[in-house]
């Protein structure tokens, strides 16, 4: 008889794993401490406006296709995707923005217009990015990160130098325009570290950006969560919300034998945690933790974020569905996140207005605005600071886009370090896990399988392969394969 598996958390990685494990015949129950499913990808609704609380960029559509295909399904069985055109817009100053087309030939032209000769360099760069994408996404990231040998293939050996050079160096070798450099360095920010600390091999993110495009599920990213929950339910996965896991219990041989959930003992043979890795280990007896506080404190974490969900009583002009504000000093902001953590002096920020392309997210004639300021994890978070930064970015937004919006705010809700900790038990309030630096790649990341507790497994953005929605889907698959293999 197949085992009972309890999964802690209902983020993308947990939902993916729940589907694979249920398909393999396990009796799967997902326990979520919050009252709604989806983890960092939950939804916030107010007065006819709908916001994705966390992720909003749908990249790497092939990874979603591959996930659903494993269950003989397609994304279109659950949601409708639109390719965004333009993909996004980047502001560099007042009235000074570049839109990123959804067509590669137009992107080459835009590069050439900015810097003569740069289109040729971009072509070479993207050829290498595509080759890396094919190696990484179609193969490497689906490995469980158990041994360094997983990284050694005929293809990776030929590219070994790219693991020891950085994106920053690679981009700056040929491209000189500061704007184009910022555009090319932007995609690796999804991996949580500075471009100067991210291996050049990760330029496959640039292929994901320019080559595969930016998509939007109609109704928002939460439609993907709903689709996965529907798939899981059809496979007999049980969901329990408001189910806070307080303890993972073990027998004398360090085998998992149960959980304490809202004060109640539950027996189980196997636990998979998709909650933040550091938090999961706090649910164990001290001697059963694999990683010390010192270990975690030395790791490079992805930034935390100050977020605002804003309902505007009018349509916004001079911006796109996704708009980046790179009109300040990127290096200084990065230093204030990673090197000398403090509230940024003059932050870069990101805004999305999903209602510009998706009418379902705001009432007629109004706009749903989402604003994100990356900040250092663990820094002080007060209402006053949130308000100060709201004013700062609204002023910048008004100035850059030449319009008044402050008096058009119907409501705003903020989310920051304290909320990441309280709502997700996130280490230092990180927004999207542990960064993919060279020393935090593959087998160098926290293990999928506990080395101290039998039948305890981990998934999600702090383990393999790393931060982001597509990696979370992949993480759910590889940990499920490991669990299934472990049983044989």
Residues at the contact surface with ligand FAD, assessed by CB under 6 A: 8-14, 31-34, 39-41, 54-57, 244-245, 274-275, 279, 305, 307, 372, 424-425, 431-433, 460-461, 467-469, 472
Element (H, E) at 456: strand 456-458
Structure tokens at 56: 């909003």
Cis peptide before 27 (omega within 30 of 0): no
Residue 384: exposed, middle, or buried by beta-carbon count in 10 A (0-12, 13-18, 19+)? exposed
Q: Tell me how far apart the alpha carbons of residues 373 and 375 are, in angstroms, rounded to a whole number.
A: 6
Tell the smallest beta-carbon distance from residue 5 to ligand FAD (Å): 15
Nearer to ligand FAD by C-beta: 246 or 346?
Answer: 246
Listed as own residue / partner, the contacts of 86-89 with beta carbons closer than 8 Å and 24 or more positions apart are 86/320, 87/209, 87/213, 87/214, 87/322, 88/214, 88/320, 88/321, 88/322, 88/323, 88/324, 89/319, 89/320, 89/322, 89/323, 89/324
Q: For CA atoms 401, 407, 411, 415, give the dihedral sign.
A: positive
Nearer to ligand FAD by C-beta: 91 or 222?
Answer: 222
Nearer to ligand FAD by C-beta: 31 or 175?
Answer: 31
Nearer to ligand FAD by C-beta: 88 or 108?
Answer: 88
Tell the smallest beta-carbon distance from residue 244 to ligand FAD (Å): 5
Nearer to ligand FAD by C-beta: 6 or 108?
Answer: 6
Nearer to ligand FAD by C-beta: 250 or 461?
Answer: 461
Closest of 220, 272, 328, 331 to residue 484, by C-alpha: 272
Tell the smallest beta-carbon distance from residue 302 to ligand FAD (Å): 8
Tell the smallest beta-carbon distance from residue 283 to ligand FAD (Å): 7
Helix (H, G, I), strand (E, B) or coil at 50: strand
Nearer to ligand FAD by C-beta: 97 or 354?
Answer: 354
Nearer to ligand FAD by C-beta: 108 or 457?
Answer: 457
Asked if residues 170 and 203 have their Cβ atoms less than 8 Å apart, the reply is yes
Asked if residues 418 and 385 have their Cβ atoms less than 8 Å apart, the reply is no
Q: For 357-410, give the DSSP string.
A: T-GGGS-TT-EEEEEEEEE-TT----HHHHHHHHHHHHHHHHHHHTS--GGGEE
Tell the smallest beta-carbon distance from residue 188 to ligand FAD (Å): 13
Tell the smallest beta-carbon distance from residue 165 to ligand FAD (Å): 25
Nearer to ligand FAD by C-beta: 220 or 433?
Answer: 433
Tell the smallest beta-carbon distance from residue 425 to ligand FAD (Å): 4
Tell the smallest beta-carbon distance from residue 422 to ligand FAD (Å): 10
Q: Tell me how far apart the alpha carbons of residues 196 and 57 are, in angstroms, rounded to a whole number.
A: 23
Nearer to ligand FAD by C-beta: 111 or 190?
Answer: 190
In sequence order, which residues have a C-beta less than 8 Å from that of residue 183 and are 6 or more positions away?
90, 98, 100
Residue with tokens 């506990």: 450
Tell the smallest beta-carbon distance from residue 233 to ligand FAD (Å): 17
Q: Tell me how far apart the alpha carbons of residues 150 and 136 are, in angstroms, rounded to a whole number.
A: 11
Eight-state DSSP code of residue 117: T
> How many Cα atoms are found within 13 Å in the side-chain-facing hemisphere of 293?
3
Tell the smallest beta-carbon distance from residue 350 to ligand FAD (Å): 9
């Amino acid at each position: 008889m197949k085992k009972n598996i309890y999964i802690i958390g209902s983020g993308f990685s947990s939902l993916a794993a729940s589907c694979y494990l249920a398909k393999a015949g396990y009796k799967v129950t997902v326990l979520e401490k919050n009252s709604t499913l989806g983890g960092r990808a939950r939804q916030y609704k107010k007065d006819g406006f709908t916001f994705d609380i966390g992720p909003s960029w749908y990249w790497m559509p092939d990874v979603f296709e591959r996930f659903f295909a494993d269950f003989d399904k397609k994304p279109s069985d659950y949601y409708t995707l639109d390719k965004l055109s333009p993909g996004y817009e980047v502001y560099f100053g007042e009235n000074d923005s570049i839109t990123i087309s959804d067509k590669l030939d137009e992107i080459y032209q835009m590069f050439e217009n900015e810097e003569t000769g740069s289109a040729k360099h971009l072509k070479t760069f993207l050829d290498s990015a595509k080759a890396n994408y094919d190696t990484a996404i179609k193969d490497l990231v689906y490995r469980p990160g158990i041994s360094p040998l997983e990284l050694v293939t005929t293809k990776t050996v030929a590219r070994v130098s790219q693991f020891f050079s950085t994106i920053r160096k690679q981009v700056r070798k040929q491209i000189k325009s500061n704007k184009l450099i910022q555009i090319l360095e932007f995609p690796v920010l999804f991996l949580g570290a500075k471009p100067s600390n991210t291996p050049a091999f990760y330029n496959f993110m640039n292929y994901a950006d320019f080559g595969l495009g930016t998509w939007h599920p109609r109704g928002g990213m939460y439609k993907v969560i709903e689709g996965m929950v529907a798939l899981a339910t059809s496979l007999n996965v049980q969901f329990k919300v408001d189910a806070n896991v307080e303890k993972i219990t073990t027998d004398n041989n360090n085998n998992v034998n149960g959980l304490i959930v809202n004060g109640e003992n539950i027996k189980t043979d196997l636990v998979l945690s998709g909650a933040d890795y550091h938090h999961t280990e706090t649910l164990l007896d001290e001697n059963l933790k694999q990683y010390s506080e010192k270990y975690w404190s030395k790791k490079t974490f992805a930034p935390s974020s100050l977020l605002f969900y804003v309902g505007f009583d009018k349509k916004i002009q001079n911006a796109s569905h996704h708009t980046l504000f790179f009109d300040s000093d990127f290096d200084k902001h990065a230093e204030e996140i990673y090197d000398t953590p403090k509230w940024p002096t003059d932050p870069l920020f990101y805004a999305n207005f999903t209602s510009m392309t998706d009418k379902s997210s705001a009432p007629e004639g109004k706009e749903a605005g989402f604003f994100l300021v990356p900040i250092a994890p663990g820094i002080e978070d007060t209402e006053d600071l949130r308000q100060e930064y709201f004013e700062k970015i609204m002023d910048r937004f008004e100035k850059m886009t030449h319009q008044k919006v402050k008096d058009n705010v119907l409501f705003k809700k903020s989310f920051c370090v304290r909320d990441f900790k309280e709502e997700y038990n996130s280490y230092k309030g990180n927004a999207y896990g542990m960064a993919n630096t060279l020393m935090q790649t593959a087998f160098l990341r926290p293990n999928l399988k506990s080395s101290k507790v039998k039948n305890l497994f981990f998934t999600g953005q702090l383990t393999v392969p790393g931060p982001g929605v597509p990696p979370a889907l992949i993480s759910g698959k590889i940990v499920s394969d490991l669990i299934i293999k472990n049983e044989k």
